Structure 1
Amino acid sequence: MGANKLLLMEEILSKKDIGERIRVLRLTNGLSQAFIANILNLSRSNYSQIELGNQYPTFNTLHEIARYYSKTYDWLLHGEEPAKTAAEHPAKIDLIINDLETSFRSFTMSLKRLEQELNHIKSRRAKVRA
């Protein structure tokens, strides 16, 4: 009975089908394997194995792919989107807005630190010249 369940699971979650959906997303967006592998913090070879259907993506990799392409896990795993209710859209939009605001704050802080570093370097350089 265990072998039958495993075969059913493999049939439901075909590595080849998942890999093909991920490959089509990448190609549709005109991206290279190396570019996406870098975003996912994977080697290009490892990423290639996912696209070829030789291995399943990890949960974290699947999460990052879904997020990057704005797809659902259901679509990546099964090729279909679940039926959505109108109430789900505002929540998703709020999550996206919060994520963007957090990223923007982090980026702004990085720019401020970079500006301080640049000013410090300029100040030291001016002292050396004087």
Structure 2
Amino acid sequence: MDNIGEKIRIRRVTKSYSQEYMAFMLNISQAAYSNLERGETALTLTRVYEIAEILEMSPFELMPKPKFGLGINHVAFIKTIKKLQATLTAHVKARKKLTFPSR
């Protein structure tokens, strides 16, 4: 469910808030609020924060999921760290073997 309006509606109904109450809190008409929930009016970031505050939730819960993954691939991250650690260890050992001419 990536529709912000649908997420807002579900949370509003869960909290037993009417559209009239939400519109009053946002200082807009009930018709304008209804358009927000149906996605007929674009939401500004400020409005998303206002709605989230009224619904007592994080505005990030309303945002759609990222297109390109949900975060760090922990398995690949750990493998990369281990490779870097092995490479660094090899370089440190190689440097210790080097002898520098004395002055």
Taking structure 2 as the reference length, what is the TM-score of the superposition? 0.56
Tell me the distance in 2 between the aligned counterparts of 1:59 and 1:41: 16
List aligned pairs for 1:1-130, cutoff 5 A.
Answer: 17-78=3-64
Residue 17 of structure 2 aligns to which amino acid in structure 1?
L
Cα deviation, residue 60, structure 1: 2.4
Residues in 2 aligned to 1:25 and 1:62: alpha-carbon distance in whole angstroms: 13
Tell me the secondary structure at the aligned position of residue 63 of structure 2. helix
State the structure with bigger RCO (CA 8 A, min sep 6), 1 or 2. Answer: 2
Provide the rounded CA distance (Å) in 2 between the counterparts of 1:71 and 1:24.
Answer: 12
Q: CA deviation at 1:65?
A: 1.0
Count of residue pairs the alignment pairs up: 67
Counterparts of 2:36 and 2:65 in 1: how far apart (Å)?
Answer: 16
Task: Name the Cα RMSD after superposition.
Answer: 2.4
More helix by share: 1
Larger Rg: 2
Aligned identity (percent) is 33
By how many angstroms is 1:66 displaced?
1.3
User: In structure 2, how many angstroms separate the alpha carbons of the residues matched to 1:69 and 1:31?
Assistant: 9
Contact 1:21–1:79, Cα closer than 8 Å, also in 2? no
Check the 8 A contact 1:18/1:51 in 2, yes or no. yes
Could you tell me how far apart the structure 1 residues matched to 2:31 and 2:58 are? 25
Structure 1 stretches lacking a partner, 5+ long: 1-13, 84-130
Amino acid aligned to 2:53: R
> TM-score with structure 1 length normalisation?
0.45
| Deviation string, structure 1 residues 20-55 (Cα, Å, up to 9, x no partner) | 000111111111101110001111111100111112
